[in-house]
Amino acid sequence: MRHIFPSYAYGPEPKAHCWWDETCLIPQFSSLAADDTASIAIIGGGFTGLNAAYHLAKAGKDVVVLDANEIGWGASGRNGGFCCLGGGTASDALLDLRFGKQDRLHYRATEKRAVSYVDDLIQTLGLDVDRHSNGETALAHRAKDMNHLLASAEQIEENYGVVPQYTSQDDMAAQGLSGPFFGAMTTPIGFALNPRKYLLGLATVARDAGARIFENADVVKVERTANMWVLDVGNFQLKADKVIVATNGYSSETVPDWLAGRYMPTQSNVIVTRPISDQEQAEQGWTSAQMAFDTRNLLHYFRLLPDGRFLFGMRGGLTASARSDLRSMQAALRDFRKMFPAWSQVDITHNWSGMVSVARSQLPFVGQVPDAENMFAGLSFHGNGVAMGSYVGKLLSQLVMNDDAVSRPLAMSDPPAQFPFGAARRVIMPAVYAGLAILDF
Ligand SMILES: Cc1cc2nc3c(=O)[nH]c(=O)nc-3n(C[C@H](O)[C@H](O)[C@H](O)COP(=O)(O)OP(=O)(O)OC[C@H]3O[C@@H](n4cnc5c(N)ncnc54)[C@H](O)[C@@H]3O)c2cc1C
């Protein structure tokens, strides 16, 4: 198996100080201890893989989930918990140009459906996920960004059928949103959750529905024989009729070979403070329970957690090493203190990093792997996979079962194209980040 980041990114260190790990225990699952068979094998036990497993098992299918680490070890167990719109970064203009307006509206409706899918799931299954925030709030980084937010109202209404609410700069303090912002726009779709508790719920219901889940099950090779897939998992083999690849930012160039060059792992980085008292919150003027982000291209995302801790995230480093993680943590700390100066002395108790995946098309993919009978994949959620990854998991289960009800926009069905430079494609990222940083001035 060949990864394109240094091995550090795929090891335990980047996740060693993740706050979510302290908030609830996930049941441990056994390792594969013998050759086995399944009707459907799912590679990757994050939101995508577990949602697919849950629906398949509920429908009575013989399904096995294999994760190289423990369940939720990837981005699903270490994200910011924003269950929000997104999944791609393609603009409306690009979508219209490539797929037409009707498909663009289908795609935008799918983003919205992904959020309600998670919402319904949580409610139906009665999952306790420390939920808060009514929609998501965008904070204008510059005065002109507020004008852009105001101008986007019509587009938001057309795409999502909702009317955003605006807060002028003068009213920010009254909303508990004080900071170096030029106003805000809240889109009333989405909510925040504890991703670890959501994972716990998913793993439990998938297992209870009959999915067999194996940890420390690193799939090193996938091969097609005459009529089935053979997955090499260390000393053992799993034979399956169908395979789902749900490895997102932790994908490799070889499992399966088709993925080579078709995803770009990029890092995101999070810091979490100790609980900030009500008085300290009032001193800073940030008391809102809204999940929020600023309008920079290289954006910051943040929210007050229900216990008063503050979670603050931003893009991670371009290389993966202990040194690079330290630099990213210092950059996040610097930006956090600049934005919230009254909290300069507040301790940071946790910090971690993880990998997301972006696609050349700027769109997520869900579908059949070309020229690979009975192999399906769902990936590249562009840092917004809590809702979209979950929903793609459900779509994958429908595709596997040939369910006529499956409804996918063309924008998500187009197989991802390869980036230039093959396994060395990360070389383009410094230029991309530098360009985005310049646009943020
Ligand atoms: C720091 C950070 C913050 C984020 N914040 C948010 C947020 O607030 N909101 C949001 O919507 N999204 C956020 N995201 C993105 C979101 O977490 C991901 O899009 C989503 O979790 C992807 O889920 P997944 O199941 O597809 O992949 P992952 O959760 O990454 O799971 C992939 C799994 O595949 C396994 N795997 C890989 N290769 C193999 C193999 N060969 N054999 C077996 N197993 C394998 C890995 O061990 C891993 O567990 C964030 C991501 C990060 C890193």
* Chain mean pLDDT for the chain: 95
H helix or E strand, kind and range, residue 323: helix 322-339
Beta carbons of 264 and 357 less than 8 angstroms apart: yes
Residue 44 Cβ inside 6 Å of ligand 1? The answer reads yes
> What separation in Å is there between the alpha carbon of 276 and the centre of ligand 1?
29
Residue 316 Cβ inside 6 Å of ligand 1? The answer reads no
pLDDT of residue 428: 79
Helices 47-58/385-400 angle, 10° precision:
40
pLDDT tens readout for residues 77-136: 999 999 999 999 999 999 999 999 999 999 999 999 999 999 999 999 999 999 999 999
> What separation in Å is there between the alpha carbon of 344 and the centre of ligand 1?
31
Q: What are the distances in angstroms from CA 201 to CA 27, 124, 207?
A: 10, 11, 10
Indicate the SS3 state at residue 281. helix
pLDDT tens readout for residues 361-406: 999 999 999 999 999 999 999 999 999 999 999 999 999 999 888 9
Tokens representing 166 are 């605006």
d(CA 254, CA 44): 14
Q: Are strands 36-43 and 236-245 parallel, antiparallel or unpaired?
A: parallel
Instruction: For each of the domains in the chain, give its residue range(s) and CATH number, in order of start.
Output: 7-80+196-264+360-439 (3.50.50.60), 134-189+266-358 (3.30.9.10)
Q: Is the pLDDT of residue 144 over 80?
A: yes
> What separation in Å is there between the alpha carbon of 423 and the centre of ligand 1?
20
Indicate the SS3 state at residue 245. strand
Q: Are strands 291-294 and 300-304 parallel, antiparallel or unpaired?
A: antiparallel
Residue 46 Cβ inside 6 Å of ligand 1? The answer reads yes
Higher-confidence residue: 303 or 424?
Answer: 303
- Expressed in percent and rounded to 5, the helix, strand and coil fractions of the chain are 40, 20, 40
pLDDT of residue 226: 87
Task: Kindly report the backbone phi and psi dihedral angles of residue 353, in degrees, each rounded to the nearest multiple of 5, phi listed first.
Answer: -140, 165
Ligand 1: which of 50, 64, 220, 356 to mutate, judged by most atoms within 8 Å of the beta carbon?
Answer: 356
Lowest mean pLDDT among 49-58, 263-272, 279-288, 420-429: 420-429
Q: Is the pLDDT of residue 248 over 80?
A: yes
Residue of 41, 35, 89 whose CA lies nearest to 62: 41
**Does residue 256 have a cis bond before it (omega within 30 degrees)?**
yes
Give the pLDDT band (50/70/90) at residue 427: confident
If you search the block for the tokens 């949103």, which residue do you land on?
Answer: 177
